[in-house]
Each structure stands twice: as C-alpha cells, then as structure tokens.
Structure 1
Amino acid sequence: MPWQTRTIEQRLTSMSRSAEQRLTAQGHMAEGAQIAANSVLGVILKELAGQISDLDGHLAWRGDQLQPDTSELELLERHAGRVNIFRKPATLAYGDVTVTGVEGAVIPAGTRLQASAAPGVVFTSRAETAIAGGTATLTVDAGTEGAIGNLPAAAPMSLVVPVAGIDPAAVAAAEGITRGVDAETDAQLLSLLLFRKRNPPRGGKPADYVRWTLEVAGIVAAWAYETEPSRGYVTVRFLLDPAAGGPIPTEADRLAVLAHLNGHEDEVTGQPEGRPAGMEARAVLVDAYPIDYTIALDDDTPANRAAVEAELAAQLLLDGAPAVTVRVSRQREAVSRAAGETYHRMTVPAADIALGVNQYPVVGAITWEPY
C-alpha cells in the first residue's frame, strides 16, 4: 500500500499522546492529564513535529526525482542526458516572399521584412535579387526561433526600410514561411525518454530507427518496418510538426531523416551512430489522404467551426498512422469535444476509412449544413 505522509497536526497529536503515556507510566503526570500546548514540552513537541514534517516532505520530493515521469525539469533533463537524449532546440523558420517593383530594381541581400502575423519577428533575405517581369522571389530567414516565425501562404508582409524601386508591401509565397519549431516541450522530452527506456538500443532493431528519426528537428512521430521492401532494408515513415508546416513532410525532410539514419555523431560520446553496416535505410514520404466532412452544428458560428476543425485535426494526428483505419466514432467524439459545441450531426464520413501504408489522414473539405 502507498506510504501515507501525516500532516503536522496529526504528527503533533501522535507525539503528544505518546509522551503523555510515557510520562504517566513513569509517574510524572496524573492519569488523563494532557501536555499543555503553551508548556515547554508542548512547544518542543510542536517544533519537532514541524521539523519531521519537513524531512518527510523532502524524502517524498527525493522519491519523485528518482523517476523521470515525476521528476522536476532539471532532474528530467539529467535523467534524459544519462541515456544521451537531449531536448531538441527551437529552429528558425524560412521560406520565400514575393515582392513587386520597377523592372530591374535590386533588392540587396540582408533586406529586412516584417509581418503583422508574426509580431516582433524580423525576416532577412539571403541573397541579392532583381525584379524581373514585375516581381521577384526572396528567400528569407526568420530572426526569432520557434513557431512564431511561421507564416501561411499569402500572408501580408512589408519592408522594414524602404528600398528604391521596390513596393513596400510583400506577401509570403505559395508554400508560406515554415519550419519554425519551438523547443521540445517537457512532455515531448519525457515521451522520448520513456520510449528509450522501454526500447533500449538493440543494434539496429526498428525501435532504434524510430528513436534516430525522432532526433531530427521537427519530427514528431515515426514508424519503422523491417524487411521492407526486402531483407536487408529498414523503411521509416514519419510526420512533421504541424507548427512547422506538417504533418505531411517534404522531400527536404526525407533527405534530412535519411542522412541522420545513415550516420550521425553521438552528442555525448562523439562516436558514430546510425544504421548498422550491411543494412540499408529508407525514408519514405507519406501522402496526405484528405477526409471530407459534412457537419451540422446547433450553434453554427465561425468560432465554433474553427474549434471543430482544430479538434478534428488533433484527433487525426493522435490516431493517425500508416495503414490505419480511421474510425468514424472517434471523429464524432472530436466534434463533441470542440469548445462551443452542444449538439451536432455528422453524416460524412458515414463509415470507417481504411488507409494504405503510405497514406496519412488529414482534414479535407468541411461542408456545413443547417442543424
């Protein structure tokens, strides 16, 4: 049974009764007499009860620090560091921006832009570019790490300092500005640590490939398959953080994962780590499988619609995996969980959806009907 830590009052009562029994047995107190709270002995017992309670609390705290899932942040990072797991740092967003201006006008490298959707973030162009056909495309990097630097396609931007011949207004290009990822959260770090403890390194088993893939910045889920497509191969499929433009990864992400699987340096030992000799690693991109919905809300407002869409996306990210069967009951549960929803009716999808091995479910078009 679990250890029950007593309160100061419970401990003081227990100590007082014990002292009274001993003093009575030795003839120093009358039968039934009690130690007065303001007596010398009463004050000493109260102080001792408080000190012992402090020790109990410290021992309970120390016990919590022995396990990573109950330890505090500093100790969690020490637990993880002992098995070479370290918090993934935040990354800078980058992407293309479309600007307009006078034909032949030059935008110098280092030109700074800003966006109201990313307050406080300054974006800097990488290279000098000239206007051709009325427009130019700049590749920019965010100056602040994390998801705050991400911008959707067509997000309005503007030059921080005017450039001759260049219109002050600009927009994020079709793919937006992405790949900005916040530093790994405590929950994510703990999840990786627990996965490592439950799946210790075994010289190239599938769990090793999953762990290596999750070490790559921005990757939030991974699956590894032995002997696919044949003996001597391990195939990995993975997802990108939605905040960085995911969950569907790109070719650049695939190449980054493959390079890490083929060999990387251990952060602590400095020794090479990765796929064993004689094995071939494959990183395969999953394709988005849009799931369309037809939903009627009793209180159909823009805010409630947005809440429903967010819950559906979160549910698919939680349940999704290659070759998964998307359960319609789980989708209805997600809609019911949305803030502002009281009653709803979902007619599409009407049945579970079985996906292929390279398919991953994402929210498609939502048709809103009257309730």
Structure 2
Amino acid sequence: MTLAIPVPATIAQRFAAWLAQNPVQADDGSLVTLDANAPGSLEQVLAGVTALEMAGVYRYVRDYCLELMATTATENGLLPQHAIQWSTPRIPAQAAVGNVLMTLPATAASVVVPINQTLTVDGSISWLVTAETTVASGATTSVPVQASATGATGDLAAGTSLTAVTPIAGVTAIVVDASGIAGGAAIEAVEAWRARILEAVRNPPGGGTVSDYERWTKAAGASYVNVIGQWLGAGTVGIVVAMAGRIAPTTAELAQISRYLVDDSRRVVRANIILLPATIVTQNVTLSITPDTVENRADVQAALAAYFNGLGIGDAIYHSQLEAAVASVTGVTSNLVLVPAANVSMAGNQMAALGTILWQASS
C-alpha cells in the first residue's frame, strides 16, 4: 500500500481547522478564534508556510524509506550501501579483450613483443599487448591484447587489420583472430546491478551452491549462466556462459571469467570448474497470422524476440508458449505456428536464439 502524501493545500486546511477548534485566551480573559482562512491574515501566512515545509518533510520521509529497500533504492542514494552490505559491487566499465595474429616472414629474425606494445586501426583508439610474446621467424603467432578504453568502441571484428604505433621489426601483418576482440561494455546498468543485489539477498553465500556460481560468473562479466553439477563426474562443476546479446563468449572472455572464478577469495575447495561457452542454437519460426498486416508482423516479431530473450541456457522452446507470445499481440485475432511444430529441447550447454521468421498466408 502506497502512503498518500497530502498536498500543501490540504495541510493548510488542517492547520486552519485545528486553529478554529482551539480558541486562544486573550489578555482580557476572552476566547479568540483564529481564522487561518482570512485573506492576508498572519494565521493564513503561517498556515501556508507550515504546509509547504510539512509537504517537504512528507516527501523526504517517503524517499528515505524507499532508499531503505534494495528494490527501490537509487543509484545516488543508498543502493551503493546495499551493494556493500551484500558484497555485490557494481561491475565497472569493461575494456574489450582478445587476440591478434602477428606474422613474421622466414627472412626475419624472431622478435619479442613487449607488454603494452600499442596497436591501432585509425589512431582514434588503441589496443595494448597484455603478455610478452615471442613471434617466431616464419610463423604466425597469437598475441593477447586489451583495448586502452572501456566500452564497445574497443570491440573489433575478426580479420580487422591493425598497425603497431612503434614498429615491430619484421612483422608484416597484424590482424584480429577469428574470435574477434570483444567484451567492451559500459558500467553496469543500475537495474542489472539491483537484480544482482536482490539475488544476493535472496540467495546468500552457501559455500558453492548453484546460486554462488551464478553470482560469481555474472560478476565476472557473463550475462547468462547455467551451472551443471558433476559435469565430468564427482567433484566437477560445469559452468556454461553466454554474453550480452545472446552470443557465445570469445576465448579471451572465457579466460577472463576463468581467472575471476579461480581467485582464492571465492574458489570452492575440491570443486573443479569446467568453463564452457554456450552453443547458440538459432531457431527459425514459420507462422501465419490473421489479420496479416505490416503492423501486426512488427509486433509479432517484437513479441517473439522478447520470448527468446527470456530463455536461459538449457531452456527448452515450448510450442504453446510461442503461440501465446504471438497471441499476446492485440491486433492478432488468430495464429498458427507451423515451425517448430513441437517443443524443442536444449542441451545444458545450448541457448536458443530467434532466427528468421517466415510468414505464410492464412488458410
């Protein structure tokens, strides 16, 4: 139940009513009734000032009470304190990580690429080598790099060519490997942070429970997690991860998450973690709708996208839920989902993603 905050006018009327019901004694012993409704009177001014101040007090108390709950606390209020209490710090902006391939011809001598060697594409942003690497003569060698700036601007597609700001003797080509450079992100969104805090409240640390592994893995940067006990037998835990946008993590992103999970401050004794990238399974959908209009098609596509975005790793696609998602569109009076024709099961390391929607004429 939400507490109704009275407006200043209501508070002023309460003030006036109280004065009317409580006359004061004058110096001559007579009783005088003060009228705060009299225009221009001192009492009316006092009523107005009191009303404005009390309205502010009401709002302050309401807002402060809301800050006491993690569900309603704000970013600039007490949400950071809730995060500290439940050991759930906000995930800072992330720099993209990945690997580049450096090629050295057989005619050139081996060269050592130092840490912090700077690479660039157009000079607007740079990528730094994160581990000293020897590029052998006549070989193509993988070199780990990290963007110098946080955010998606540091992501690069596979095959992108870079150049060394300080030339590397003999190296003839530097390109991003097949996994791409990925993982650049802005600071964690407030609602995502709140969701992790609430998860910590509802599922406090348990010495290696499913909730523990989910919490740790998401804190390391994963957006989707499926924890599978005894993945390779007793004492093993399979952790399948996918990144924001329902995509599989790159090798570099997996390594980054792995380093976080095996940190001694959270590693569970005798638990062997096997970290796995989710396999993204694209599911095309064939359906018919009535009436079949451009507007209805757009709304149905949005409804199906929302349904798939709600599926986690290992979650099955249920035919009845697909039909329900389409039927939720107000303008659609009837629909028929032809493909998939039945429920589609997913393995523990698979995650469904919406593919192409094929529209068939209504029969």
Q: TM-score, normalised by structure 1?
A: 0.72
Report Cα offsets for 1:208-248 as digits up to 9, x if no partner. Answer: 222222221x21232334455555x35243323235xx532
User: Do the aligned residues in 1 keep the contact of 2:230 with 2:238 (CA within 8 Å)?
Assistant: no
Q: Is the 8 A contact 1:91 1:180 kept in 2?
A: yes
After TM superposition, the structure 1 = structure 2 runs for residues 152-301 of structure 1, keeping only pairs within 5 Å, are 152-154=157-159, 172-216=176-220, 218-228=221-231, 230-231=233-234, 233=235, 235-242=237-244, 247-250=247-250, 253-254=253-254, 256-265=256-265, 273-275=266-268, 277-294=269-286, 298-299=293-294
**Whole-Å separation in 2 of the counterparts to 1:140 and 1:342:** 53
How far apart are the structure 2 equivalents of 1:196 and 1:187? 14
Q: Are the aligned partners of 2:319 and 2:341 in contact in 1 as well (CA < 8 Å)?
A: yes
CA drift at 1:353: 0.8
Contact 1:298 / 1:344 at 8 angstroms: preserved in 2? Answer: no
Q: Secondary structure at the match of 1:15?
A: helix
Amino acid at match of 1:143: S
* 1:320 equivalent in alignment to 2:315: no
Deviation, structure 1 residue 169: 11
Q: State which drifts further: 11-20 or 324-333.
A: 324-333
CA distance in structure 2 between the partners assigned to 1:56 and 1:147 by the alignment: 43
**Alpha carbons of 1:258 and 1:172: their partners in 2 closer, same or farther (altered >3 Å)?**
closer
List gaps (5 residues or longer) in structure 1: 266-272
Please point out which of 328, 352, 358 is paired with 2:349: 358
Residue equivalent to 1:15? 15
* Cα deviation, residue 28, structure 1: 1.6
Letter in 2 for 1:274: R
Aligned residues of 1:20 and 1:35 also touching (Cα < 8 A): no
| C-alpha separation in 1, matches of 2:23 and 2:229 | 74
Aligned-residue offset at 1:23: 2.7
More deviation, 189-198/139-148: 139-148
Change over 3 Å in CA distance of 1:286–1:343 after alignment to 2: same
The 10-residue stretch of structure 1 (194-203 or 290-299) with the greater mean CA deviation from structure 2 = 290-299
Q: 1:141–1:329: structure 2 CA closer, same or farther, 3 Å change rule?
A: same
Matched, 1:6 2:10: no
Q: Partner of 1:79: helix, strand, or coil?
A: helix
Q: Partner residue of 2:152?
A: 147
Contact 2:118 2:126 in 1 (8 A): no
Count of equivalent residues = 344
User: 1:29: how far off?
Assistant: 3.5
